[in-house]
């Protein structure tokens, strides 16, 4: 029984590790080694990394970073007080809660067509601004949903005590409640960042040129000039490594956020 | 002036305004578009009522995409749930390298989906891929992106990336269950299987419902794997709704039709939310 369990977990680890190992190796392989999957030994090369520098991948990573940071910043600025009002005062009632849940589940296919036309009319196609607007459609509801759950977990008596001690409503929120949910805000920020950083659909439709984000850039290695497998793998590493490091620290809090506070880990 | 409003509305207002701007306005615009014959190539647009929706009923390609999407969602979420539950149970008892194993097994859900799609496209590629090469050395020849296997392959890619999400939620659920029912089952001499089906599963039901809901909602939007691997082919074997909408809207520029397709997808998603939400609420009312 116990041995079976160990084997199962080990097999799962191997299945997860195999694609990582392949990408990691391919990012340092030359064309000859890439075209011969049966061969195990190869001479490592930095050719692929030179290639992605000259192909503008670093620029796309910068665009992705800018888009994700602004999207998350705006979402936190607007979502934190909103989530507090919804959690504490049931402001806006069930309709607001349902609206937030609904915008979280809307398929991007519905919103992308009007966003495309608005971008066309305002002549802001292929800019970071329009990608930020499109990413707000899913990051803002998710971040707010996360935060409602975290605010729900702060006991009311905390602010009541603070207000008895002479704090105003706003001061009680800023100085007593906010520090309590800081870990939650951190988790929500990282989760929102990952959602924005990983999005392909909106960025592909709204900004395929100068303002292309990293996922669009990665997809591009597959479309033009044949396949440049090694460079593509190097670009994948640029995209994946920072995100994994960030997520490593917040996975426990993700659970509570994802379930809207319904579950603790 | 501002002071006349209670703090709750001052706190809520920016959120509502921004959501109205980036979600409600495009949504309304989209409803209007779905009632027109708007295309990019023709300047004049006319109101056609429900014609776009009507024509979807007789659109064979749309029917295929719908069927593919439903098959994809059912199989992907079903397999992820089964595997995720098994893994969560195994990880719950794991002691050796506990945190490192958990952290490592969760990593796939953070990889950008287009990268996952492309990784598997080449891992499974007939000429370049190590997996067909390894199978070939034992005399097996498998075309992972042929007509018969393309959709199952895309399901498998989704399973690789999103089973960890199920594990994350189910493991959290398992670890927050009360101890007493398990101790009682042990005292009564219940077998491991009986304990699992009569104690663990019923207690875990709300968590399972949330996990299925969140996963299914996401699976309906499958796009990246199809875009990275098969582009809907061979033929229309892997054409999914989201991919068809992308092509209709942004390769053929039939925006009205794309919007209408989107709203049928919204209808499906809402139906699913209602069904799962109800089963969830009924469970809570009983408890």
Which ranges of chain B does DSSP label H, i.e. alpha helix?
A: 7-19, 25-34, 51-57, 60-93, 98-106, 113-123, 130-137, 150-175, 180-187, 192-195, 201-219, 224-229, 241-250, 255-286
CATH number at residue B94: 1.10.3720.10
Nearest chain A residue to B103 by CA distance is A248
Tell me, yes or no, whether B2 lies in a domain: no
Spatial contact of B236 and B226, defined as CB atoms under 8 Å apart: no
Q: What are A108's two structure tokens?
A: 């991007």
**Chain A interface, best mutation among B79, B114, B213, by max A CB count within 10 A:** B114
Over residues B106-117, the mean pLDDT reads 92
Phi and psi for B36 in degrees, rounded to 5?
Answer: -120, 175
pLDDT of residue B3: 59
Alpha carbon of A96: minimum distance to chain B alpha carbons (Å): 8
Tell me, yes or no, whether B7 lies in a domain: no
Spatial contact of A67 and A213, defined as CB atoms under 8 Å apart: yes
When CB atoms are compared, the residue of A35, A79, A96 closest to B128 is A35
Spatial contact of B256 and B52, defined as CB atoms under 8 Å apart: yes
DSSP letter at B202?
H
pLDDT tens digits along B77-90:
999 999 999 999 99
Domains in chain B: how many in total? 1
ipTM of the complex: 0.87
pLDDT tens digits along B178-219:
888 888 998 988 888 888 888 899 888 888 888 888 898 889
Domains of chain A: 1-45 (no CATH), 56-258 (1.10.3720.10)
CA distance B66 to A103: 22
Alpha carbon of B184: minimum distance to chain A alpha carbons (Å): 22
The whole domain housing B98 covers: 57-286
pLDDT of residue B282: 61
Tell me, yes or no, whether B185 lies in a domain: yes
CA distance A253 to A184: 7
Spatial contact of A71 and A132, defined as CB atoms under 8 Å apart: yes
**Chain A interface, best mutation among B118, B136, B203, B261, by max A CB count within 10 A:** B118
Q: What are B264's two structure tokens?
A: 């049928």
**Cβ-proximal residues to A38 (8 Å cutoff; 6+ apart), any chain:** B133, B137
pLDDT of residue A264: 47
* Full-model pTM: 0.89
3-class SS of residue A68: helix
Cβ of B249 within 8 Å of Cβ of A112? The answer is yes
pLDDT of residue B151: 94
Does the structure show a pLDDT above 70 at B108? yes
Tell me, yes or no, whether B193 lies in a domain: yes
| Cis-peptide, bond into residue B234, ω within 30° of zero | yes
pLDDT in tens, chain A (265 residues): 467 888 899 999 999 999 999 899 888 888 777 777 767 777 788 888 888 888 888 899 999 999 999 999 999 999 999 999 988 887 677 778 778 878 877 888 889 989 998 888 888 888 999 999 999 999 999 899 888 888 888 888 888 888 888 888 888 888 888 888 888 888 889 889 999 999 999 999 998 888 899 999 998 887 545 567 888 899 999 999 888 887 777 766 676 666 655 554 4
Tell me, yes or no, whether B136 lies in a domain: yes
Tell me, yes or no, whether B11 lies in a domain: no
Q: Which long-range contacts (CB under 8 A, 24 or more apart) does B3-12 make?
A: B6/A89, B7/A85, B7/A169, B7/A170, B8/A85, B8/A88, B8/A89, B8/A91, B9/A85, B9/A91, B10/A81, B11/A81, B11/A82, B11/A84, B11/A85, B11/A91, B12/A81, B12/A82, B12/A85, B12/A86, B12/A91, B12/A92, B12/A96
Cβ of B259 within 8 Å of Cβ of A110? The answer is yes
Tell me, yes or no, whether B180 lies in a domain: yes
Cβ of B110 within 8 Å of Cβ of A35? The answer is no
Does the structure show a pLDDT above 80 at B24? yes
**Chain A interface, best mutation among B13, B20, B22, by max A CB count within 10 A:** B22
Cβ of A109 within 8 Å of Cβ of B7? The answer is no
Tell me, yes or no, whether B145 lies in a domain: yes
């Amino acid at each position: 029984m116990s041995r079976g369990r160990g084997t199962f977990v080990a097999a799962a680890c191997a299945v997860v590790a195999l694609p990582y190992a392949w990408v990691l190796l391919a990012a340092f392989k030359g064309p000859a080694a890439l075209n011969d999957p049966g061969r195990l030994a190869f001479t490592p090369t930095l050719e692929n990394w030179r290639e992605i520098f000259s192909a503008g991948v670093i620029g796309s990573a910068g665009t992705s970073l800018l888009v994700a940071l602004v999207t998350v910043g705006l979402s936190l600025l607007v979502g934190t007080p909103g989530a507090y009002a919804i959690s504490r005062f049931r402001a806006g009632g069930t309709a607001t809660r349902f609206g937030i849940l609904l915008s979280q589940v809307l398929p991007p296919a519905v919103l992308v067509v009007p966003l495309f036309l608005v971008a066309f009319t305002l002549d802001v196609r292929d800019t970071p601004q329009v990608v930020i607007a499109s990413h707000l459609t899913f990051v803002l509801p998710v971040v707010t949903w996360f935060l409602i759950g975290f605010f729900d977990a702060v006991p009311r008596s905390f602010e009541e005590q603070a207000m008895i001690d002479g704090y105003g409503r706003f001061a009680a929120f800023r100085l007593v409640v906010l520090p309590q949910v800081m870990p939650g805000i951190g988790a929500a920020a990282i989760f929102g960042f990952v959602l924005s950083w990983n999005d392909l659909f909106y960025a592909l439709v709204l900004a395929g040129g100068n303002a292309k984000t990293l996922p669009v850039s990665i997809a591009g290695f597959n479309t033009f000039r044949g396949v440049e497998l090694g460079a593509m793998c190097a670009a994948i590493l640029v995209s994946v490594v920072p995100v994994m490091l960030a997520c490593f620290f917040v996975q426990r809090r993700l659970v509570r956020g994802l379930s809207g506070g319904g579950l603790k880990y | 002036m501002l002071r006349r409003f209670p703090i709750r509305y001052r706190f809520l207002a920016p959120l509502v305004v921004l959501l109205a701007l980036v979600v409600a306005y495009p949504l309304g615009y989209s409803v209007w578009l779905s009632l027109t014959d708007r295309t990019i190539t023709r300047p004049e647009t006319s109101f056609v009522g429900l014609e776009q929706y009507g024509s979807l009923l007789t659109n064979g390609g749309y029917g295929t995409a719908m069927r593919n999407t439903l098959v994809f969602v059912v199989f992907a979420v079903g397999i992820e749930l089964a595997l995720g539950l098994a893994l969560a149970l195994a990880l719950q008892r794991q002691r050796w390298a506990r945190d490192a194993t958990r952290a490592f097994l969760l990593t796939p859900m953070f990889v950008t989906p287009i990268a996952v799609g492309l990784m598997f496209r080449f891992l499974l590629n007939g000429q370049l891929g190590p997996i067909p090469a390894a199978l070939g050395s034992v005399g097996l020849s498998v075309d992972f992106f042929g007509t018969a296997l393309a959709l199952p392959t895309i399901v498998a890619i989704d399973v690789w990336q999103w089973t960890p999400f199920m594990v994350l939620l189910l493991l959290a659920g398992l670890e927050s269950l009360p101890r007493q029912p398990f101790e009682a089952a042990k005292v009564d001499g219940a077998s491991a299987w009986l304990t699992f089906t009569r104690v663990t599963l019923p207690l875990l039901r709300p968590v399972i419902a949330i996990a299925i809901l969140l996963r299914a909602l996401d699976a309906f939007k499958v796009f990246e794997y199809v875009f990275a691997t098969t582009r809907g082919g061979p033929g229309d074997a892997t054409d999914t709704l989201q991919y068809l909408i992308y092509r209709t809207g942004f390769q053929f520029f039939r925006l009205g039709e794309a919007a209408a397709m989107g709203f049928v997808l919204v209808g499906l998603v809402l139906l699913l939310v209602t069904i799962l939400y109800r089963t969830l609420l009924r469970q809570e009312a009983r408890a």
